[in-house]
Structure 1
Amino acid sequence: MRKMNKRSLFFTSLTAAALLLAACGTDDSDPIDGGTDPGEETGTDTEGAQGGDLVIGQLSDAVSLDPHGSNDTPSSNVAYNIYEALLIQDENMELQPGLATEWERVDDLTWQFTLREDVTFHDGSEFNADVVQANFERILDEDIASPRAFLYEMVEEINVVDDYTVEFVTEYPFSPLPAHIAHNGGGMISAEVIAEDYEAIENGSEPGSVINENPVGTGPFVFESWTPGDEIVLNRNDDYWGDAPALDSITFRVVPEGSTRLADLETGAIHISDPLSPSDVSRVEGTDGMSVISQPSVSLSYIGFNAQKEPFDDPLVRQAISKAIDKDTIINGIYDGVGIPAESPLAPGVFGHDENISGLEYNVEEARELLAEAGYEDGFSTTIWTNDNQDRIDTATAVQAQLAEIGIDVEIEIVEWGAYLEDTAAGEHDMFILGWSTVTGDADYGLYPLFHSDNFGVAGNRTFFATDELDSVLEEARQSSDEDERLDLYSRAQEILVDEAPMIPIHHPEFLLAVSDDVEGLWQHPTGILMLRDVSLNQ
């Protein structure tokens, strides 16, 4: 058995592994997972509907095509078709085989995965246990600084048992590990490309630079091209180990304006508009040749505070603003009542969600009193950031008007998506509007990245809020193997968040797509990822 741990000399061993693969002549996010085993018959009849280029009009461009180097849905939507994880989650968030066919818990600290054989990467290199080890060692490499590292930080060893068996040993019992393994952040990259990326780093390049230019996975589609700010094109993988896709190609086209996306859908320039604003549902439903696809989600929309900046470092100010914002007006007026009002970051159906938790109630008079108690009787001036998502812009406008009632003057700043993620991760904001998807279906993912002090910035904690008590509760909850104890701890964590108010949970959205009637076989995962492998076009 070969062992590697977090502190091993990764590059040397990875290069050796890549050279070995080459010598043998043989031969990958907000988000995650298919509804069927790619190796099994899906029952989708695509006869007579083969080929064609599916064009998706989407709000924002991908940030990165390195599955270990991004933490946003636009990137994950593309990467999901290039890379595959060891496990996937179906439409009910249940775990299913992916690149691993079996998995079992050997003891409290050890999980073993049996891998598929005869799977090759797009570059012809072989998928095996050495490659799995190389990928997870890369995610955990501090020099790579992967925003996905928190998913696997409990992993102490990744052991190659044999060519197609790999073992994960954790520092402490961690029941959600298989769900974390299913995260698209665990997408498998060709070991040869990883080795090339490390070589480029040695020569002064940024981590992921090679992978971004040449993303190589085992998935049903192969990278063709990326014109930043315009489109990404993927072609069908004719050598895919499972059932080959019906489509010839997929184009992810950046169309920031929702009205433009709908106009493109009406003219046939695109086949899917993602997302669809709730206010446009009636327009789509009243137009021949297109329809609406809706999907309940495990996502959250929220307004966050930078808790390390004055005056938002004062919980009284955060509570005051929380009470001054009428969430029902936002949900009903902007989202047309689509979605579930949020009392905490965890959606119903996520393990750890406590239905007895009640958030701070809307009460303008109490908001004024809290603001005065904090020393801001006359209010103050601040900014709220949003990206160029119309629903979020409308939410910012509503917040601006509501906070004016308690003397807070709010300036709205609209920031391009990539810069928005970068600048909020750097803590340059005051207030901001964003979302989070608990893609594993477990409270650990819904709370630990958002509120633990280890995860300030790009990993998820853009409020820069943490307390010793909350850190302790979240750590204890993720380390416990007792389900009831975990539920109690997560209830306590949600109570702390209500009291401290580092964010205002708005609602758990329902995902909406506008889709051409020429598209068949499309569905959207509860995490927001588009399931495209079995899609076909009537043409």
Structure 2
Amino acid sequence: MKQKFKNLMFVLMSVVVFFGYTSKLLAAKETIVIAQGADAKSLDPHSTNDQPSSRVSAQIYDRLVEQDTDMNVIPGLAEKWEQIDDVTTVFHLREGVKFHNGEPLKASDVKFSLDRMKKSPQVSHIIGAIESVEVVDDKTVKIKTAKPFGALTSHLAHTAASILNEKAVKESGDAYGQKPVGTGPYKFSNWQAGDRIVLVANEDYYKGVAPTKTVIFRNIPEGTNRTIGLETGEVDIAYDLEPVDKDMVRNHKKLDFVEEPSLSMTYLGFNTKKAPLDKVQVRQAIAYAIDVDSIVEAVYQGGAVKANSPIGPKVFGHNPNAKNYEYNPEKAKELLAAAGYKDGLKIKLWTNDNPIRRDIATIVQDQLKQVGIDVTIETLEWGAYLDGTARGDHDMFILGWVSVTGDADYGMYPLFHSSTHGGAGNRSFYSNAQVDELLDKGKNSVNPEERKEAYIKVQEIVQEEVPVFTIAYPSDNVGKQKNVKNFKMHPAGHHRVYGATVE
């Protein structure tokens, strides 16, 4: 009898342990852990425009309109809209949408968000064409542009054009970037600076509650460590794997490697307000001294193509015939001598703690040494790097730009217009009246051919004057566990997690 009782207890305990273990597994499946190479700078979409921040913000907020993975503009918080004339568009908001703090979405929140965005030095240029935002009623907003603006809806789909709750922003004040409130599929839970940001599913999301209850964004700067996280199962999705790790992930029986063309480019920027980089000949010399093919092969290992323009082939307005600098160190030496630097010069090159950019910096340092340019590399923390280049403390720097809207206006206006010096994008502090005029023309036209003609000319000028030397068009990649389903990459790089599951 005692033995039977013991056997029964053993079975019962085994069942308890089994179900306890199973419940733990089920609980684990309610969480997706995503590793990226830098921590967010802020979750206030009006205070920064960097990719690590946008990748998190994209889960918290919605926009009036969205762009799908084919870059088509689709309804967002506005279920429909109509263009009244060349400068007026009316947007009709969805019924029943709530912010994470329980406040209903109203037209006044849209006006507040876009008006606030227009005052931001970091992102105002994105909707600089907007003259006024008018509340017609609680569910209707009228947006007027000062002039015709062909890319309006594409720009309103930008993560910086996310709709904020007026009450939440005013209550949090300067701390809002650490207390974001949106209408998106995930709500902000907590932020352990330098380590992780935790989001939880929004139970009131208008499209339906997300199947995965928790999303954790981990800050893992070293690409190899992100790959190790995949191997150990600590990480479900890892963004931006290093080329050296690609084959390992491809060949791992439990992992998938996904690589797709993006809207991004990597560039070497020059502070055109500082000698000797204020001379076009010096900038051209540096461009001729860099062997881009070797960088693409050694650093990207097939995950990028050589660039000939600040915008890539997937972006509207790309000029396939813009000047392409071929490796020519002798030409570089001639240009340096003509600029008064026959005996060489010394210069500093900034980069952030990004393995690919560090590798590029090392190669550039070596190649420039061959033509008499002594380069000192300085590596800065991401926030300090953005702040310093916004102030103009640098000489040269390595950075990327994503033409998030798929349109040349966004791809070039922030980088080259004289009104966007610093944090808004023009960290080269470049000014050219003709470029300004052409960029304004492209922005203020609704004629696609007229716009394209203006942008083609801009690319010809900037490739000749070289305020930035565009190196490559990298592909986006992610590594993920095979049991992660329904995760789709977005060409703009801020991939949406909504709908993804771990099976």
Same fold, judged at TM 0.5 (above): yes
Amino acid at match of 1:376: Y
Matched, 1:366 2:331: yes
Matched, 1:184 2:151: no
The residue number in structure 1 matching 2:117 is 139
The residue number in structure 1 matching 2:49 is 71
Equivalent position SS for 1:234: strand
Amino acid at match of 2:87: L
What is the distance in 1 between the residues matched to 2:223 and 2:393? 28
The residue number in structure 2 matching 1:84 is 62
Preserved contact between residue 109 and residue 166 of structure 2 (Cα < 8 Å) = yes
Equivalent position SS for 1:530: coil
Counterparts of residues 121-200 of structure 1 (less than 5 Å): 121-141=99-119, 145-197=120-172, 200=173
Per-residue deviation at 1:146?
A: 4.2
Matched, 1:383 2:345: no
The residue number in structure 2 matching 1:301 is 266
- Runs (4 or more) in structure 1 with deviation over 4 Å come to 48-51
Preserved contact between residue 42 and residue 178 of structure 2 (Cα < 8 Å) = no
Per-residue deviation at 1:457?
A: 0.6
Count of residue pairs the alignment pairs up: 478
Assess, with a 3 A threshold, how the Cα gap between structure 1 residues 485 and 407 changes in structure 2: closer, same or farther: same
Aligned counterpart for 1:393 among listed residues 349, 358, 361: 358
Equivalent position SS for 1:523: coil
Amino acid at match of 2:485: E
The residue number in structure 2 matching 1:354 is 319
Preserved contact between residue 325 and residue 403 of structure 1 (Cα < 8 Å) = yes
What is the distance in 1 between the residues matched to 2:333 and 2:44? 47
Q: Deviations over 1:302-359 (max 9, x none)?
A: 1111111000000000000000001111001110122222100111121111112232
Amino acid at match of 1:96: I
The residue number in structure 2 matching 1:17 is none
What is the distance in 2 between the residues matched to 1:146 and 1:318? 27
Preserved contact between residue 379 and residue 409 of structure 1 (Cα < 8 Å) = yes
What is the distance in 1 between the residues matched to 2:222 and 2:458? 38
What is the distance in 1 between the residues matched to 2:422 and 2:343? 32
Larger Rg: 2
Preserved contact between residue 63 and residue 77 of structure 2 (Cα < 8 Å) = yes
What is the distance in 2 between the residues matched to 1:236 and 1:509? 32
Q: Deviations over 1:419-477 (max 9, x none)?
A: 11111111111111100000111111011000011101110001111111111111122
Equivalent position SS for 2:300: coil
What is the distance in 1 between the residues matched to 2:494 and 2:441? 31
Amino acid at match of 1:250: V
The residue number in structure 1 matching 2:21 is none
Aligned counterpart for 2:248 among listed residues 274, 283, 287: 283
The residue number in structure 2 matching 1:263 is 228
Equivalent position SS for 2:461: helix
What is the distance in 1 between the residues matched to 2:258 and 2:448? 35
What is the distance in 2 between the residues matched to 1:104 and 1:507? 38
The residue number in structure 1 matching 2:484 is 519
Q: Larger deviation: 386-395 or 471-480?
A: 471-480
Amino acid at match of 2:147: Y
Preserved contact between residue 121 and residue 423 of structure 2 (Cα < 8 Å) = no
Preserved contact between residue 265 and residue 470 of structure 2 (Cα < 8 Å) = yes
The residue number in structure 2 matching 1:95 is 73
Q: Deviations over 1:166-194 (max 9, x none)?
A: 11111111110111111111111112112
Equivalent position SS for 2:176: helix
What is the distance in 2 between the residues matched to 1:522 and 1:356? 36
Preserved contact between residue 90 and residue 140 of structure 2 (Cα < 8 Å) = yes
Amino acid at match of 2:200: N
* Structure with the higher helix share, 1 or 2: 2
Matched, 1:107 2:72: no
Q: Deviations over 1:269-321 (max 9, x none)?
A: 11112210122111112222111011210111111111110000000000000
Per-residue deviation at 1:49?
A: 10
Counterparts of residues 214-363 of structure 1 (less than 5 Å): 214-363=179-328
The residue number in structure 2 matching 1:25 is none
Amino acid at match of 2:195: D
What is the distance in 2 between the residues matched to 1:224 and 1:264? 23
Preserved contact between residue 196 and residue 210 of structure 1 (Cα < 8 Å) = no
Q: Larger deviation: 54-63 or 334-343?
A: 334-343
RMSD of aligned residue pairs (Cα, Å): 1.3
What is the distance in 1 between the residues matched to 2:330 and 2:368? 12
Preserved contact between residue 61 and residue 164 of structure 2 (Cα < 8 Å) = yes
Equivalent position SS for 1:307: coil
Equivalent position SS for 1:334: helix
Preserved contact between residue 271 and residue 396 of structure 2 (Cα < 8 Å) = yes
What is the distance in 1 between the residues matched to 2:160 and 2:360? 30
Amino acid at match of 2:74: Q
Counterparts of residues 433-452 of structure 1 (less than 5 Å): 433-452=398-417
Q: Larger deviation: 260-269 or 432-441?
A: 260-269
Amino acid at match of 2:94: R
Q: Deviations over 1:114-140 (max 9, x none)?
A: 111100001010102111111111112
The residue number in structure 2 matching 1:502 is 467
Q: Deviations over 1:90-129 (max 9, x none)?
A: 1111101110111221101111111111000010101021
Amino acid at match of 1:157: S
Equivalent position SS for 2:40: coil
Aligned counterpart for 2:452 among listed residues 459, 469, 487: 487
Per-residue deviation at 1:50?
A: 9.7
Q: Larger deviation: 241-250 or 449-458?
A: 241-250
Per-residue deviation at 1:405?
A: 0.7
Amino acid at match of 1:458: G
